[in-house]
Amino acid sequence: MSETRHMFINLGPSHPAMHGIIKIVTELDGERIVGADVEIGYLHRGFEKMCEEGPYNNAIPYTDRLNYVSPLINNFGYCLAVERLLGIEAPERCQYIRVILSELSRITDHLTCIGASAMELGAFTVFLYLIKAREWLWELVEEVTGARLTISYGRVGGVKADLPDGFAGRTRKALEDTRRVLLECDTLLTRNRIFMDRMQDTGVISKEDAISYGITGPFLRSTGVNYDVRKAQPYFVYDRMRFDVPLGGRGDNYDRYLVRMEEMEQSMRIIEQALAQIPEGPIMVDHEGRMLPAAVMVDEAKEGRTAGMRLVEVAVDPTLGGSTRRFHGRVNAPEKLAVLPPKEDTYGNIEGLMQHFKLVMIGHGIRPPTGEVYAAVEGANGELGFYVVSDGTDRPYRVRVRPPCFTIMGALSKMLIGDMVADIVPTFGSVNMIGGELDR
């Protein structure tokens, strides 16, 4: 009598669908998965410990590398936590900018997720179309931040710089083009028999299990649970935006695809509303319209001729330009204890120089009162939370991140059991696992 045994096969970490950083030890009965052990930790970044090694603003480049497909949301989530710890609020215009760029990031994240997942199932044309659309949006991000991926644009109390001239018109054009691409991809995928057979009734999770695992975002909403941080705990100016929260019902891979497709349309609605509502805010202008070279201003000040200089615009070298004083008040909180002065003030008058040095010198810097705070934003994968503890010094005592894809990975083993080996790829793709966020 022959003996039947289960087969154990490693999928990853070198498998391309596992991003090189996940290993799934599968126990197979033929091609049916009867057991799955998911191993993470191949890309340990030490993010939380690194945040505790330097001043508060030094953590912002690290947040870029959490979910590096939508880094702006990470920036703003961390800044929001520190601002609540300080008890300050970013200017209204800055909050609109944060909403616009967060939603652009959400769209680029969903485009990447759906495009890569479709490619792994053989729909390479869809991948090319969606990456083309992502390129248009990344060009907008690059206009504002100066970079495409590791943008370091957020600041405690504000943002690095204002929106460039003509940004609204270019954004509306990009959204119009993106809608056309999404319509093409909807035609290619949504009722495609092969795609539906691979996605429907695979990677299923019930709403009860999703809640018990702490899953949030599109993954949770695909089960029919109506939870979105932007609606449940509004932050920035999301309470002024009219948008719907797309829901699924079956909690399978196909529902997660549909939810993300509709979320992109809702994000575009939010961006259009924010562009229509964004206030101009105060601009500091010299009543004589003068502009002085920085060196001239310094020489004049040395000899005591400072009358009327308070609001004079200073012409500085491009490397010292920063966001310029005339825009600074629109996008940064008027809080000297947390916000660096415009470069014109730093290099143009002693008060600005002192303020700058007090914020960047070791042992000085941003010093929130002793306490702790948790702030959450709606990331592309779900609730992205930052728990920050202050001991009153210029460095955080503790920074803890709640990454949305971490909880989903905890449930991956349960979702895979009972499916076929071929179903691992679409299920793992629908998790939208981002290594920098998972192994923070």
Confidence (pLDDT) at 378? 95
Confidence (pLDDT) at 312? 66
So where are the chain's domains?
47-280, 291-360
Confidence (pLDDT) at 311? 63
Low-confidence residues of the chain: pLDDT under 70: 1-2, 281-292, 294-295, 308-326
Confidence (pLDDT) at 204? 93
Say which residue the tokens 């503890």 belong to: 389
Helix (H, G, I), strand (E, B) or coil at 140: helix
Distance, in Å, from the CA atom of 267 to the CA atom of 183, rounded to the nearest integer, reads: 16
| Tally of residues, the chain | 440
Confidence (pLDDT) at 254? 95
DSSP annotation of 375 reads E
125-159: per-residue pLDDT in tens? 999 999 999 999 999 999 999 888 899 999 999 99
Distance, in Å, from the CA atom of 390 to the CA atom of 384, rounded to the nearest integer, reads: 20
Give the alpha-carbon dihedral of 194, 200, 202, 208, to 10 degrees: 170
CB atoms within 10 A of CB 284: 16
Confidence (pLDDT) at 345? 79
- Sequence-distant contacts of 165-168: CB under 8 A, at least 24 apart: 167/140, 167/143, 168/275
Confidence (pLDDT) at 335? 87
List, in sequence order, every residue forming a beta bridge with 158; answer none if it has no partner: 155, 332
Peptide bond before residue 13 is cis, with ω within 30 degrees of 0: yes
Distance, in Å, from the CA atom of 127 to the CA atom of 177, rounded to the nearest integer, reads: 16
Contact in structure between 242 and 273 (CB atoms under 8 Å): yes
DSSP annotation of 392 reads S
Distance, in Å, from the CA atom of 326 to the CA atom of 181, rounded to the nearest integer, reads: 38
Confidence (pLDDT) at 187? 94
Token pair belonging to 148: 């495409």
Task: Note the CATH number of domain 47-280.
Answer: 1.10.645.10
Contact in structure between 397 and 235 (CB atoms under 8 Å): no
Confidence (pLDDT) at 231? 94
Contact in structure between 313 and 288 (CB atoms under 8 Å): no
List, in sequence order, every residue forming a beta bridge with 36; answer none if it has no partner: 26
pTM as predicted = 0.89
